[in-house]
């Protein structure tokens, strides 16, 4: 590698995914594109989103309630089966069969719904194993859900903590599963750490859980659209995610769920709503819940079609690019970012694992001194990352729309900042 603009531009010229950047609106300041490295928080807007949304607005305008059963165009289905349009691309992205996935609700809502189905404390097996310091929403969901079952989260939650380097190792998770198997009812954790950018070996964790007779679920908020997933083949029991980060579905975009086909039976306990009822008989309005086949049977309320239209436009782009190609470029981008950060090693420590296969798009930078001042300076230079107290700057070069030149400019901005500090 070379820390030069010419070298970065040569990498961009060779990038097979370079055309995908033109599919997104890049935020600007003073007529110049921002260097947007915050896809780990909110992805950018696909240029197809407006047309997709406008199509459903026109359907609503011209058909009203009949839009549930009719369509303005023969090539697009009615709203009644809109979720089915999303299942194929979602299945491609997470490594599942289409019937195992469904867009619905919001992430934490889905987390509660899935825990209702798959967390079944009995006798001495009441505990949940998770990781310490997981995203706050997950912590709150686990804490309150456990209390709703009449249990104490202080004694029910078993948390695997980070080592001195700030990372949580897959081997430590596996050892904890084996050590506590007699008291565990569920393993539930993030598949990729929001703070450190570390991706866990979900396949190994699932295998260890199943070997000990346990179910396992993952929050994939920071993993979906970021790292390759094979949820079906790995045997993961269930998962949920948000789609406003690497899937670029928009602020507060619709979530989704994965439920492995072995759990597609009506006997699985769940909190139900009428949209999860057997579609062929839904409008008979009869008593007694009969779920739709597959993950769609976990739906609750009438879906937000306007949100789903943008969701579909976005996931089509990710599915077209392909997770293998996205992953290859992602590893190159983070490796180049790590390279341009090397001259500042005395001041900036990269918390994220050095091995590309053990991280996603994000590098978390721990700044020993003047971290907030550095973050503010980068923002003023048009470099958009995010700040996490007390001393962490998260930068996420995203392969769909970021370039190697973006990464080089980060290094150049850092150089100028530290020169000015001398």
**The pLDDT value given to residue 74:** 75
**The pLDDT value given to residue 369:** 87
Q: In what order do the strands lie in the sheet with 348-350?
A: 348-350, 363-367, 392-395, 386-388
**The pLDDT value given to residue 15:** 98
DSSP tag of 157? E
Q: Inform me whether the pLDDT recorded for 422 exceeds 80.
A: no
For the chain, what is the mean pLDDT? 96
Residue 12 tokens, joined: 């961009």
**The pLDDT value given to residue 17:** 98
Type and span of the H or E element at 208 = helix 202-211
> What number is the average pLDDT over the span 7-25?
98
**CA 277 to each of CA 97, 107, 259, 274, 381: distance values in angstroms, whole numbers, following the listed order:** 20, 21, 16, 5, 52
**The pLDDT value given to residue 338:** 98
Q: What is the share, in percent, of the chain residues with pLDDT greater than 90?
A: 94
> What number is the average pLDDT over the span 186-194?
98
Q: What is the C-alpha separation between 394 and 372, in angstroms, rounded?
A: 12
**The pLDDT value given to residue 263:** 97
Q: Inform me whether the pLDDT recorded for 3 exceeds 90.
A: yes
| Band (368; pLDDT cuts 50, 70, 90) | confident
Give the 3-state secondary structure of residue 300: coil
Q: What is the C-alpha separation between 352 and 366, in angstroms, rounded?
A: 10
Quick check: 333 and 399 in contact, CB under 8 A?
A: yes
Q: Which of 84, 92, 130 is nearest to 111 (CA)?
A: 130
Type and span of the H or E element at 127 = strand 127-131
Residue 260 tokens, joined: 């492995």
41-80 tens-digit pLDDT = 999 999 999 999 999 999 999 999 999 999 888 777 899 9
> What number is the average pLDDT over the span 162-187?
97
Q: Within a 10 A sphere around the Cβ of 14, how many other Cβ atoms?
A: 9
- Residues 33-42, buried b or exposed e (16+ Cβ, 10 A)? ebbbbbbbbb
239-294 tens-digit pLDDT = 999 999 999 999 999 999 999 999 998 889 999 999 999 988 988 989 999 999 99
377-396 tens-digit pLDDT = 999 999 999 999 999 999 99
Q: What is the C-alpha separation between 31 and 8, in angstroms, rounded?
A: 22
**The pLDDT value given to residue 76:** 79
- Please tell me whether the peptide bond between 174 and the residue prior to it is cis, using omega within 30 degrees of 0: no
Dihedral angle sign, alpha carbons of residues 291, 295, 300, 301 = negative
**The pLDDT value given to residue 77:** 80
Enumerate helices (H) and strands (E) in the chain, giving the number of each. Answer: 13, 15
């Amino acid at each position: 590698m070379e820390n030069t603009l010419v070298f970065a531009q040569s990498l961009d010229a060779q990038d097979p995914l370079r055309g995908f950047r033109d599919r997104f609106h890049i935020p600007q300041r003073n007529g110049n594109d921002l260097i947007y490295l915050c896809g780990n928080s909110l992805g950018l807007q696909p240029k197809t989103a407006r047309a997709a949304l406008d199509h459903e607005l026109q359907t609503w305008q011209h058909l009203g309630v009949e839009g549930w059963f009719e369509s303005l165009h023969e090539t697009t289905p009615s709203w009644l089966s809109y979720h089915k349009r999303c299942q194929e691309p979602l299945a491609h992205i997470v490594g599942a069969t289409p019937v195992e996935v469904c867009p619905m609700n919001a992430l934490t809502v889905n987390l509660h719904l899935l825990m209702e189905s798959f967390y079944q404390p009995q006798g001495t097996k009441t505990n949940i194993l998770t990781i310490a310091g997981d995203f706050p929403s997950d912590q709150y969901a686990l804490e309150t859900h456990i209390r709703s079952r009449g249990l104490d989260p202080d004694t029910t939650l078993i948390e695997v903590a980070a080592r001195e380097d700030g990372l949580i190792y897959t081997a430590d998770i596996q050892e904890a599963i084996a050590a506590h198997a007699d008291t565990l009812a569920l393993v539930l954790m993030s598949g990729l750490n929001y703070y450190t950018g570390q991706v866990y070996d979900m396949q190994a964790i699932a295998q260890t859980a199943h070997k000990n007779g346990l179910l396992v679920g993952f929050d994939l908020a920071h993993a979906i659209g970021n790292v390759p997933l094979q949820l079906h083949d790995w045997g993961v029991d269930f998962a949920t995610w948000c789609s406003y980060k690497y899937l670029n579905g928009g602020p507060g975009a619709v979530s989704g769920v994965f439920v492995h086909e072995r759990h597609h039976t009506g006997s699985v306990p769940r909190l139900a709503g009428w949209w999860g009822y057997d579609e062929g008989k839904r409008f008979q309005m009869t008593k007694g819940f009969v779920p739709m086949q597959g993950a769609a049977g976990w739906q609750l309320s009438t879906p937000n079609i306007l949100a789903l239209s943008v969701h579909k436009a976005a996931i089509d782009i990710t599915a077209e690019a392909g997770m293998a190609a996205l992953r290859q470029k992602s590893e190159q981008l983070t490796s180049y970012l790590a390279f341009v950060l090397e001259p500042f090693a005395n001041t900036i420590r990269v918390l994220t694992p050095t091995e590309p296969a053990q991280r996603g798009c994000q590098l978390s930078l721990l700044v020993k001194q003047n971290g907030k001042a550095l973050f503010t300076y980068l923002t003023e230079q048009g470099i958009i990352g995010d700040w996490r107290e007390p001393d962490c700057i998260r930068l996420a070069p995203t392969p769909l729309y970021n370039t190697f030149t973006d990464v080089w400019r980060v290094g150049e901005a850092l150089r100028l900042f530290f020169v000015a500090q001398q």
